Amino acid sequence: MLELEEKDPANQSTTPGRIFKIIRDSGPLYANDIVRRSGLAKSTVSAYVDKLLSVGLLREDIPEGGKRRKLKVAESAGYVVGIALGQSHLDVALCDLEAETIDSRCCPVSLLRESPEEVLGKAVAFARELEESAGLGPQALFGVGIGLPSPVDYANGVPVNPPVMPGWDRYPVASFLAQEFTCPVFVDNDVNVMALAERDKGAATGIVGRRGSFILVKAGTGIGAGLVIDGEIYRGAKGAAGDIGHIGIDGDETLCPCGNRGCLEAVAGGRALLARAEAAAGSGRSPFLAAELAAGSPIAPALVAKGAASGDEECIRLVISSGASIGDILAKLVNFFNPSLIVVSGGLTGLGERFIASIRESIYRRSTPLAAADLVVKKSALPGGGGTTGAAILVLDEVFSHRNVGRLMRGLA
Amino acid sequence: MLELEEKDPANQSTTPGRIFKIIRDSGPLYANDIVRRSGLAKSTVSAYVDKLLSVGLLREDIPEGGKRRKLKVAESAGYVVGIALGQSHLDVALCDLEAETIDSRCCPVSLLRESPEEVLGKAVAFARELEESAGLGPQALFGVGIGLPSPVDYANGVPVNPPVMPGWDRYPVASFLAQEFTCPVFVDNDVNVMALAERDKGAATGIVGRRGSFILVKAGTGIGAGLVIDGEIYRGAKGAAGDIGHIGIDGDETLCPCGNRGCLEAVAGGRALLARAEAAAGSGRSPFLAAELAAGSPIAPALVAKGAASGDEECIRLVISSGASIGDILAKLVNFFNPSLIVVSGGLTGLGERFIASIRESIYRRSTPLAAADLVVKKSALPGGGGTTGAAILVLDEVFSHRNVGRLMRGLA
């Protein structure tokens, strides 16, 4: 049936992967659409589709009133676990093979005080709980993905030089989880993982598409970026690409915990913003924040946004200056990279639309007209920035890579 | 013979291209090496190699004392013309199918005073002269490539928003040349083209290889960058990627001809350097430059380098400050892009090794340790920055693309 098998083993192993990817990216599709998009012969497509149906990775989808079958990923043929770890919170989701969340758990953690074993142990316990409550056995688990708030050596699945995570430098996260789960484990930087969620389920879908290029900026306590180039995460030579939080603002002398001065994160990150907001409340420069603080409200981005909306001038100034600092750095990167989309995510988006507008304005003001032509700057609409969804997509991209689908198919046959 | 032809027309059309590319990138190769590198069946490789030999795109290469044939590109089976246009000079080279220069011509031009027709007319005349003197007929011309000192809409072959080239904005460069040559014409930004030369014949070959990623920085009158990602030029959404000359230095108020203040090019480009050198000569702050100017020497980067080498403190300061401004911007881009190689090219490299060292030092000082780990910063060793060679490679990459080799083969058969 698979006529290429004998003649061309390399081709045999990537062709089902190519077909499966087309269906993952654009399904449900008629077989004819797959022939057209792949450029493969009808007989080849038909043979592999049958095989993928028989092993259960694809399913038929007959549109209402339609006669011919469409083909789509059999989303319930297995599941993956997506883990998003932040400085102060842990999120774990059980997802289907289309990265849709079946169920999830979360809890606070402290990477400063808890050891990697403690934190990862909590993630494992959550995953077991989710498996159990969904009535799933471990044999259907296709893989586990985790996003860490640190640069990551992707090939080895270890964090490298994490800024404020004692005990995590080169901790074997992938091996630890692989021992617990006996399935493939993938570890990446949290912002890269969030970028994958934007690519497949978020802002990029309608603008650049799954094979497009864009920048995801996470502006929270830390500031970082994920680069997607032609649909793939670009990690750079040492997995450090996108580390924009430590780009220096020329002439700024603010001390950063990294030891340098004027780092974007130290000037415009969440900690700096909240410190300035507290100072403005304390000094009475912001009557709104002073009143809220007196009433016991915790100072947070959303509160500053509320103050700005109510006309408090100091709150407005705080929102605009934070956005402007980020936008000034992004303007430089726009000249260099000429993206057509920048998605802004993270806790500071709680500062509201005025914050995004301030970023946008600074970019347009200080990048070349050609580089900023048609550039869209928009806020992420994914809940929680899509951390767990992105971690699930990370796994799915790997287990459903061109080369792996053939293997998977032979394993399931 | 070509057993896949009937069954799988799409595969049939890209397979010879894949084989040819492996030989272009790594030849001379034994047939066995091609089988191993391509993952294709031996019979498939053998059939296509025979076909490529018979139409004359490959040739055999029997190593001295060797018995088995190796395969390589038949470099003399045709030729391409590479054109490098600068603000003040025009270079035209006739190259073989491995982008080696057979012969070349150059002359001064002025993009400020001459029309596109005049300048391109000179390029056409040079190309004809080269063809004639090499005794080649137009039927063997595979294509023409040109690098322009302007952002370029690559798909349409037109310059877009060129800074100081009156009459060139959206001028149909590709159509103009295609009419003269009746062969494919490719137009790109000069820095992108120079990056291709570094990839195949320059600094990248020993460091990141033909499928690697790096940044080429051209520091001359203008300052620009070319990005190569996984062996391919990354052009960005509007073809403006790499336009680093107009990245702003925060707080610098130097007026740039573009209308903005503090652009890198206005602060550290060739014009700024020479103006400062002249001022230093005029004021006597640089005794070396004052003496040279009095003796009638024109102020140029090499002269400033000579002054620095002789210990003239003002010359040393000029060299170091120009490198530091460029390095400060590159440090930001290193954090963002995490490259393993930056190649520095252009007229300012005449400032000597101290200039490169100053760039290097600024990058290391102000990027994160992880992003700069293993980063190599080195000077281009290609004569003239490889402009005409890169333009020839631009053509060869296109005419020998996966899809085109099959077509070419059928055309020659």
ipTM of the prediction: 0.90
- Name the B residues in 134-153 with CB < 8 Å from any A CB: 151
B-chain residues near A244 (CB < 8 A): 335-336
Stretch A275-290: mean pLDDT: 95
Per-residue pLDDT band at A13 (split at 50, 70, 90): low
Chain B contact for A258 (CB, 8 A cutoff): yes
Output the pLDDT for position B394.
97
* Residue numbers of B between 171 and 230 with CB closer than 8 Å to A: 213, 225, 227, 229
Q: Are residues B277 and B375 in the same domain?
A: yes
For residue A245, tell me if it sits in a domain: yes
Last-in-domain residue among A74, A100, A119:
A74
**Residues of the domain holding B327:** 203-381
Contacts of A374 in chain B (CB under 8 A): 237-238
B95 shares its domain with B183? yes
Residues A47 and A91 in one domain: no
Same domain, A356 and A391: no
Question: Number of folded domains in chain A?
Answer: 3
Which of A17, A45, A74 corresponds to the end of one domain?
A74
Q: What are B267's two structure tokens? A: 């602060």
Residues A149 and A242 placed together within one structural domain of the fold: no
pLDDT at A249: 93
Per-residue pLDDT tens for B168-223? Answer: 999 999 999 999 998 999 999 999 999 999 999 999 998 998 889 999 999 998 89
Q: Does A2 touch chain B (CB under 8 A)?
A: no
Q: Which residue among B9, B234, B237 sits closest to A374, beta carbon to beta carbon?
A: B237
What is the residue whose two structure tokens read 């050596």? A153
Hey, CA dihedral for A183, A189, A194, A200, is it positive or negative?
negative
B209 contacts in chain A (CB < 8 Å): none
**Does A359 lie in the same domain as A315?**
yes
Kindly tell me if the per-residue pLDDT of A1 is higher than 50: no
Q: Are residues B33 and B162 in the same domain?
A: no
Domain identity same for A221 and A359: yes
Q: Could you say which of B44, B74, B104 is where a domain stops?
A: B74
pLDDT at residue number A410: 82
Neighbours of A72 (CB within 10 A): 17
Ranges in chain B, pLDDT < 50: 1-11
Q: What is the model's pLDDT at position B5?
A: 34
Give residues with Cβ within 8 angstroms of A198, minimum separation 6: A204, A214, A216, A228, A343, A345, A380, A382, A386, A390
In this prediction, residue A138 carries a pLDDT of 73
**Over chain B, what is the mean pLDDT?**
91
CATH of residue B69's domain is 1.10.10.10
Name which of B237, B246, B338 is nearest A335 (Cβ-Cβ).
B246
Report the relative pairing of strands B214-219 and B223-229 from DSSP bridges: antiparallel
Q: Is residue A65 part of a domain?
A: yes
Distance CA B172, CA B159 (A): 8
Instruction: Give the CATH number of the domain where residue B119 resides.
Output: 3.30.420.40
Asked whether residue A5 carries a pLDDT value surpassing 80, the answer given is no
Mean local confidence (pLDDT), A258-272: 93
Output the six-digit token pair for B266.
């206005």
Residue A408 lies in a domain: no
Beta bridge partners of A232: A229
- Taking residues A164-187, what's their average pLDDT? 93
Q: Considering only alpha carbons, which residue of chain A is nearest residue B334?
A: A241
- B168 and B281 share a domain? no
Look at residue B4 in the predicted model and tell me its pLDDT.
Answer: 30
Say if CB A399 and CB A406 are below 8 A apart: no
Nearest C-alpha in A relative to B37 = A10
Edge-to-edge strands, sheet with B101-108 = B101-108, B89-96, B79-85, B141-148, B185-189
Q: How far apart are CA B300 and CA B350, in angstroms?
A: 8
Does residue B337 lie in a domain region? yes
- Looking at the fold, whether B234 and B357 belong to one and the same domain comes out as yes
Residue A208 pLDDT greater than 50, yes or no: yes
For B229-282, the DSSP string reads ETTEE---TTS-TT-GGGPBPTT---B-TTS-BSBHHHHHSHHHHHHHHHHHHH
Domain membership flag for residue B152: yes
Residue A406 lies in a domain: no
Nearest one of B334, B340, B336, B342 to B226, comparing CA atoms: B342
Q: Distance between CA A188 and CA A174 in Å, rounded?
A: 10
In a domain, B412, yes or no: no
Distance between CA atoms of residues A134 and A145, nearest Å: 19
| Residue A333 in contact with partner chain B when CB distance is under 8 A | yes
Q: CB distance B241–A336 less than 8 Å?
A: yes
- Tell me which residue in A161, A227, A239 faces B369 most closely, judged by beta carbons: A161
Residue B353, SS3? helix
Establish if A161 touches chain B: CB-CB under 8 angstroms: yes
User: Are B56 and B122 part of one and the same domain?
Assistant: no
The per-residue pLDDT for B13 is 62
What are A291-318's pLDDT values in tens digits? 999 999 999 999 999 999 999 999 999 9
Do A47 and A1 contact (CB within 8 A), yes or no? yes
A124-143, pLDDT tens digit by residue? 999 999 999 999 877 789 99
Q: Decide if B269 is inside a domain.
A: yes
Whether residues B244 and B288 share a domain: the answer is: yes
